[in-house]
Amino acid sequence: MKTKIILEEEEIPKEWYNIQADLHTPLDPVISSATMKPATPDDLKAIFPMELIKQEMSRERWIPIPEEVRDIYRLWRPTPLYRAHRLEEYLKTPAKIYYKWEGVSPPGSHKPNTAVPQAYYNKKEGIERISTETGAGQWGSALAFGTRLFDLDCTVYMVRASYEQKPYRKSIMQAWGAECLSSPTERTNSGRAVLKKDPKTTGSLGISISEAVEDAATHDNTNYALGSVLNHVCMHQTVVGLEAEKQFELVDDYPDVIFGCVGGGSNFSGACFPFAGDKLRGEKPDVRIISCEPMACPTLTKGLYAYDFGDQAGLTPMMKMFTLGHDFVPAPIHAGGLRYHGDAPTLCNLTHDGVMDAVAYHQNEVFDAAITFSKTEGIVVAPEAAHAIKATIDEALRCKKEGKEETIFFNNSGHGNFDLSAYDAYFDGKLVDYEYPAELVKQSLAGLPKI
């Protein structure tokens, strides 16, 4: 029995898969906050390069990957697909468990799959600096890495809670030449407004996005880059699922169920969209696809499917998505990359249409699962990725109880080497299981834009 299923460098995908070509219900248009009409390329060109705008709006099924990008992908791609034999044995389950291991990239996660092409397209259009936000720091690290490869400057607004919890993420960004700031800052109007209202705020991705977008919009040499949510970001991540499909072919298998953690949705979209395309086209109609999110920020399981801003200050266009309201500031859980009020419109579209489902977990049970995984498979995973492990273990135990053979696949999106303070808190019994803040969400949803 194989433990590691690998591909050759030549098998790195030559095209990204665009799921918009196969959606049963077309995406609702993005609405410009300035005109209150569907956004046009002109509405977006102040902060994005035109090639990414074209990708964002494209409904072509396949988008070519530039050879310059594929050449950099070779530094870590193709990534391995592992069969988790030891976890299966420990659980005594008849299920087969596979995971795609994205922690082998230089920044340690799936994020450079889109950071590299975003840096490439910005460089091609003469941009000198990129601003961005980051939650737990995986995206900020990846963009710092990508911009360094193309000799671009990089400014990262890191959510304050994670900035304080994960100081070495700042260090690795600085090692690649990026500037990392604790958000909210005094540097931007949106940051100053938040601090005036609540000087002790723990921050949120929505706040950090506002700062990064404002930074880009007020500097001619600067563009903005987003690490999740947008169509082109999810599309870049499909290299994960496209490779996984080839790897499953090598072992003559195919998933019955797919899990992945979801904050904005990029890693899970990248892993599952090629399989979701099979389902949408009727080729594999029975595959189950399930998002895993935190109970402290249960966007897909508790949110409202409505138009909302992508940021706290309302600077971004409005997107139709499951949302907890752009004013919502989640509790400071250690899975900082999952503390986002909304989700990718494509993933939300598929969830709303019943193509995929969602579950939510408390952080202590998630860390319980992470420890089980580290003791059996040897990898200390990021708190975000551990949500998918929790779902995988639950599914494997259900198979054990029912005597059912099943193939389970999850995307193991990154390592936890910079998250050890979170593990310290877990071992010291200091992790708090934050309950779903229904009243706070109700207040936040009251402020949704009227479309």
Which of 423, 336, 429, 409 shows the shortest CA–CA distance to 379?
Answer: 423
β partners of residue 410: 99, 259
Confidence (pLDDT) at 27: 96
Confidence (pLDDT) at 313: 79
Is residue 52 domain-resident? Answer: no
Query: How many Å apart are CA 375 and CA 102, to the nearest integer?
Result: 19
Q: Which residue has the higher pLDDT, 120 or 165?
A: 120
How far are the Cα atoms of 35, 162, 384 from residue 339, in angstroms, in the given order? 29, 10, 10
Is residue 153 domain-resident? Answer: no
pLDDT tens by residue, 56-113: 999 999 999 999 999 999 999 999 999 999 999 999 999 999 999 999 999 999 999 9
Summary mean pLDDT of the chain: 95
* Burial label, 369 (beta-carbon count in 10 A; 0-12, 13-18, 19+): buried
Is the pLDDT assigned to residue 166 strictly greater than 80?
yes
Confidence (pLDDT) at 415: 96
For the chain, percent of residues with pLDDT exceeding 90: 85
Which of 318, 307, 426, 450 shows the shortest CA–CA distance to 374?
Answer: 426
Looking up residue 393, the CATH number of its domain turns out to be 3.40.50.1100
Can you give the length of the chain in residues? 451
Confirm if 56 and 232 have CB atoms less than 8 A apart. yes
Structural domains in the chain (count): 1
Confidence (pLDDT) at 116: 98
Is the pLDDT assigned to residue 334 strictly greater than 90?
no
Alpha helix segments (H runs only) across 281-362 = 299-302, 345-352
Helix-helix angle 138-149:112-124, to 10 degrees = 40
Tokens of 353: 């249409």
pLDDT tens by residue, 268-323: 999 999 999 999 999 999 999 999 999 999 999 999 999 999 888 788 889 999 99
Is residue 282 domain-resident? Answer: yes
Confidence (pLDDT) at 49: 95
Other residues' Cβ atoms within 10 Å of the Cβ of residue 283: 10
Is residue 227 domain-resident? Answer: no
- Where residue 426 falls among pLDDT bands split at 50, 70, 90? very high
Q: In terms of residue numbers, what domain contains 279?
A: 67-108+232-445
How far are the Cα atoms of 131, 147, 155, 223, 229 from residue 128, in angstroms, in the given order? 10, 10, 11, 8, 24
Confidence (pLDDT) at 314: 81
- Where residue 405 falls among pLDDT bands split at 50, 70, 90? very high
- Where residue 441 falls among pLDDT bands split at 50, 70, 90? confident
Average pLDDT over residues 126-138: 93
Query: How many Å apart are CA 312 and CA 322, to the nearest integer?
Result: 15
Confirm if 416 and 408 have CB atoms less than 8 A apart. no
Is residue 410 domain-resident? Answer: yes
β partners of residue 223: 130
Is residue 178 domain-resident? Answer: no
Question: Quick check: pTM over 0.85?
Answer: yes
- Where residue 34 falls among pLDDT bands split at 50, 70, 90? confident
Which residue type does 164 have? E
Is residue 240 domain-resident? Answer: yes
Confidence (pLDDT) at 294: 95
Which of 412, 395, 79, 100 shows the shortest CA–CA distance to 256?
Answer: 395
Is residue 210 domain-resident? Answer: no
